[in-house]
C-alpha cells in the first residue's frame, strides 16, 4: 500500500526534507522509517523543540551504501559517526538534529549466532519486509512525503495490535530478541499481541537464550520504563520468556504470602509495580520499578510454617537482595543500579513495626542513614508494598508512614540527617588520643558515629568524654 495520505499531520520537519533533497541530488532515495513514523502517527513524540515537530528520533532508510552515505554526510553534516557502520548505519548531526541513516536491509541470519549477517536490499520493500512488526514497517519518503505501508501497519496502529510482516515463526527465528521487543512494545504502547505472535513466542521462548545479556537487559529496561510495564511482564511470564532470563518472577506464582492477602506473591508483586508507577514524580523511575518487581523474590526460598500454622518468609528481604544482586549482575546492569536496587530490597521491610510506637529518634536516624541517597525511593517502595484489601489496615499503614516522614522532616530541621558524622573527625581523634593513623582511628570514628545516631548531636565536651570512655574501655588509655 503506497499513497499520499494527509502526511502534513505528521509535521515532517524541514530538516528531513532538506536531507532528503541532498540524497536525491546525489541520486539516492531517502525515507523516514520505523519508530519515527509509528510514533508520529500515534502522536507520541514531542511536539516541542526548535522545529515545532512531532518527531522525536529521525531514522532514515536509503538506497545509498554506507560508504556513499558517509561521503555525502561528511560534506553536509556538522559531525558524523560510524559506530553502526558494520550494520549499514551512519550517524550524523545535521542542522542540530541527531539522525541515523541505514542502507536498505535484507538481513539474513544463520539462526545460531547472536547477531545478524548483514545483507543489503535493493528496494524499500526489501527493507520494510525485514522489520520486526508491521507498526514499524512504514515509511515516508523525503522530500516527496509519499507514505508506504505494505503490511498495513497503520491499520494495526488503529487496532492497537502487534503483528509481524511475515510469519512470526520466521521473524523470531531470525532474531529471537523480537519476542522480548513484543513485550516491550506492549508495555510502551499498551497494545495487544496478535494470537499467532503470542503462540510463536510461547513455542520459541527458549530461543531467547541465543541473545547476549546486554541486548536482553536493554529491552527489559525499556519494557520497565513503559507506560504500563505490567502488560509486558505478564506477557513475559505467560509465554515462558521470563523463565529464560528472569526465572525469579514466574517462580513467585502460587507462593501464598504470609498474610493470605493474595492468591500468590506474583499478583501482589505486579500490584506493587503498578503502585510504584503511580507514585513517580517526574517520569519513569526504572530503578524503583525494578526494585518493586524484585522486592519479594526471596520468598520462595524462605517459605516456612510458623507454630501457629501461618506461612512465614523470615528474612526474605535479605535473601531477595542477594538474589537480585546476582540476577542483575548476570544481566550486566551498571554497578550503581545493582547496588541501589538490592539496597532497596534489603530495606523494604524496615518500616513495619513503626506504628507500634517502638521507634526512638535513634531508630529514625538509622533508617535515614541506612537508606542514604535511596531514601526517596524507599519511601515510595514501602508505600507501594501496601496492597491489603482491608481498608482500615491500609489507612493505618498510610497514616503510620505519613507520621514517619513527618518525623524525619522534623529531625532534619534540627540536624543534618543526610550527613550524619561523628562530632569529632579523624584528625581530632588522633590529636586527643595521641595515636597515629590506622585501624584504631577508624574504630573510634565508627563508635562516635554510633553514639551520634543514638543520641543525636553532642556538644564538644560530651563528644570528647565519650571518646575518652571508649578509649579507656579499649585499652588505648591507661586505667
Question: Secondary structure of 248-283 in the HEC alphabet?
Answer: CCHHHCCCCCCCCCCCCHHHHHHHHHHHHHHCCCCC
Peptide bond just before 143 cis, omega within 30 deg:
yes
Residue 15 near residue 37 (C-beta atoms within 8 A): no
Taking a C-beta distance cutoff of 8 angstroms, is the pair 257, 308 a contact?
no
Among 381, 403, 418, the domain-final residue is 418
Beta bridge partners of 305: 311
- Residues 190 and 178 grouped into a single domain: yes
The answer on 397 and 321 residing in a single domain is yes
Residue 104 inside a domain? The answer is yes
CB atoms within 10 A of CB 318: 16
Verify that 178 and 272 share a domain, yes or no: no
Longest dimension (CA), the chain: 96
Distance from chain centroid for Cα 216: 12
CATH of the domain at 144: 3.30.460.10
Reduced to 3 states (helix: H, G, I; strand: E, B; else coil), residue 108 is strand
pLDDT of the chain, 479 residues: tens digit per residue: 444 344 445 678 889 999 999 999 999 999 999 888 998 888 765 433 333 344 567 999 999 999 999 999 999 999 999 999 988 999 999 999 999 999 998 766 656 655 556 788 889 999 999 999 999 999 999 999 999 999 999 999 999 999 999 999 999 998 999 999 999 999 999 999 999 999 999 999 999 999 999 999 999 999 999 999 999 999 999 999 999 999 999 999 865 555 554 458 999 999 999 999 999 998 999 999 999 999 999 999 888 887 777 778 888 999 999 999 999 999 999 999 999 999 999 999 888 766 566 677 778 887 888 888 999 999 999 999 988 777 787 788 888 888 888 888 887 776 655 555 666 777 877 887 788 888 887 877 777 777 776 777 777 777 777 777 777 778 776 55
Position of cell 520466521?
Answer: 170
- Cβ-contact 11, 37 below 8 angstroms: no
Q: What pLDDT was estimated at residue 35?
A: 87
Same domain, yes or no: 153 and 276: no
Q: Are 150 and 219 part of one and the same domain?
A: no
- For strand 147-148 and strand 89-94, is the pairing parallel, antiparallel, or unpaired? unpaired
| Its pTM surpasses 0.85 | no
- The reply to whether 39 and 132 lie within a common domain is yes
Report the alpha-carbon distance of residue 59 to residue 101 in Å, rounded: 6
* One-character DSSP codes across 391-436: HHHHHHHHHHHHHHHHHHHHHHHHS-GGG---SS-HHHHHHHHT--
Query: Concatenated DSSP letters for 305-335?
Result: E-TTS-EEETTHHHHHHHHHHHHHHHTT--H
Residue 478 lies in a domain: no
**276/325 Cα distance (integer angstroms):** 20
Q: How many CA atoms lie within 13 A of 304 on its CB side?
A: 9
On whether both 144 and 206 belong to a single domain, the answer is: no
Number of domains in the chain: 4
Strands 97-103 and 311-313, sheet pairing: unpaired
Range of the domain at 450: 421-473
Taking Cα atoms as reference points, which of 303, 273, 279, 309 lies closest to residue 291?
A: 273
479 domain-assigned: no
Task: Answer with the one of 382, 400, 418 that is the final residue of a domain.
Answer: 418
Residue-wise DSSP of 358-387 = ---HHHHHHHHHHHGGGHHHHHHHHHHT--
Q: Are residues 410 and 440 in the same domain?
A: no
Host H or E run for residue 93? strand 89-94
Residue from 299, 220, 292, 320 nearest 252 by CA:
299
Question: Do 435 and 314 sit in the same domain of this protein?
Answer: no
- Tell me the Ramachandran region of residue 31: left when phi exceeds 0, alpha when psi lies from -120 to 50, beta otherwise: beta
Size of the chain in residues: 479
Q: Closest Cα partner for 84 from 105, 99, 102?
A: 102
Same domain, 200 and 112: no
- Amino acid 430: pLDDT: 82
C-alpha of 475 from chain center? 51
Of the candidates 453, 455, 443, 457, the residue with the CA atom closest to the CA atom of residue 366: 453
Partners of 162 in beta bridges: 193
DSSP count for the chain of H helices, then E strands: 22, 12
In a domain, 368, yes or no: yes
CA 381: distance to chain centroid?
15
Are 98 and 198 in a shared domain? no
- Write the CATH number for 414: 1.10.3210
On whether the CB atoms of residues 287 and 345 are closer than 8 A, the answer is: no
* End position of a domain, from candidates 129, 159, 189: 159
Instruction: Using only the alpha carbons of the chain, give its radius of gyration.
Output: 29
* 20 & 94 share domain: yes
Amino acid at each position: 500500500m503506497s499513497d499520499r495520505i494527509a502526511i502534513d499531520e505528521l509535521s515532517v520537519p524541514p530538516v528531513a526534507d532538506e536531507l532528503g533533497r541532498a540524497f536525491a541530488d546525489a541520486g539516492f532515495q531517502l525515507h523516514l522509517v520505523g519508530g519515527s513514523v509509528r510514533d508520529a502517527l500515534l502522536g507520541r513524540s514531542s511536539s516541542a523543540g526548535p522545529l515545532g515537530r512531532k518527531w522525536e528520533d529521525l531514522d532514515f532508510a536509503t538506497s545509498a551504501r554506507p560508504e556513499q552515505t558517509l561521503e555525502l554526510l561528511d560534506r553536509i553534516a556538522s559531525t558524523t559517526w560510524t559506530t553502526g557502520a558494520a550494520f549499514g548505519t551512519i550517524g550524523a548531526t545535521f542542522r542540530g538534529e541527531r539522525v541515523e541513516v541505514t542502507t536498505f536491509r535484507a538481513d539474513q541470519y544463520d539462526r545460531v549466532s547472536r547477531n545478524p549477517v548483514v545483507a543489503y536490499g535493493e528496494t524499500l520493500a526489501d527493507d520494510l519486509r525485514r522489520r520486526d512488526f508491521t507498526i514499524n514497517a512504514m515509511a515516508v519518503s523525503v522530500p516527496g512525503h509519499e507514505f508506504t505501508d505494505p503490511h498495513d501497519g497503520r491499520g494495526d496502529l488503529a487496532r492497537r495490535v502487534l503483528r509481524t510482516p511475515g510469519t512470526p515463526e520466521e521473524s523470531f527465528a531470525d532474531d529471537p530478541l523480537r519476542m522480548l521487543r513484543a513485550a516491550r512494545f506492549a508495555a510502551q504502547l499498551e497494545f495487544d499481541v496478535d494470537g499467532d505472535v503470542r503462540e510463536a513466542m510461547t513455542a520459541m521462548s527458549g530461543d531467547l537464550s541465543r541473545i547476549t545479556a546486554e541486548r536482553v537487559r536493554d529491552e527489559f529496561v525499556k519494557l520497565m520504563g513503559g507506560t504500563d510495564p505490567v502488560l509486558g511482564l505478564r506477557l513475559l511470564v505467560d509465554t515462558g520468556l521470563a523463565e529464560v532470563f528472569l526465572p525469579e518472577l514466574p517462580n513467585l506464582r502460587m507462593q501464598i504470602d504470609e498474610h493470605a492477602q493474595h492468591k500468590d506473591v506474583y499478583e501482589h508483586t505486579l500490584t506493587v509495580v503498578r503502585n510504584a508507577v503511580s507514585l513517580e514524580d517526574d517520569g519513569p523511575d526504572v530503578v524503583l520499578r525494578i526494585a518493586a518487581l524484585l522486592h519479594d523474590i526471596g520468598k520462595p526460598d524462605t517459605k516456612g510454617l510458623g507454630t501457629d500454622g501461618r506461612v512465614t518468609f523470615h528474612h526474605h528481604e535479605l535473601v531477595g537482595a542477594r538474589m537480585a544482586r546476582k540476577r542483575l549482575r548476570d544481566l550486566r546492569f551498571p554497578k550503581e543500579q545493582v547496588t541501589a536496587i538490592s539496597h532497596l530490597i534489603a530495606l523494604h521491610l524496615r518500616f513495619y513495626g513503626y506504628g507500634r510506637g517502638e521507634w526512638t529518634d535513634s531508630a529514625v536516624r538509622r533508617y535515614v542513614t541506612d537508606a542514604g541517597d535511596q531514601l526517596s525511593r524507599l519511601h515510595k517502595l514501602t508505600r507501594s508494598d501496601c496492597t491489603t484489601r482491608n481498608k482500615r489496615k491500609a489507612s493505618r499503614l498510610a497514616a503510620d508512614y505519613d507520621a514517619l516522614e513527618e518525623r524525619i522532616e522534623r529531625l532534619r530541621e534540627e540536624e543534618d540527617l543526610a550527613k550524619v558524622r561523628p562530632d569529632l573527625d579523624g584528625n581530632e581523634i588522633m590529636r586527643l588520643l595521641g595515636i597515629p593513623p590506622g585501624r584504631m582511628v577508624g574504630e573510634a570514628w565508627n563508635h562516635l558515629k554510633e553514639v551520634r545516631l543514638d543520641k543525636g548531636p553532642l556538644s564538644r565536651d560530651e563528644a570528647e568524654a565519650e571518646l575518652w570512655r571508649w578509649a579507656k574501655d579499649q585499652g588505648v588509655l591507661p586505667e
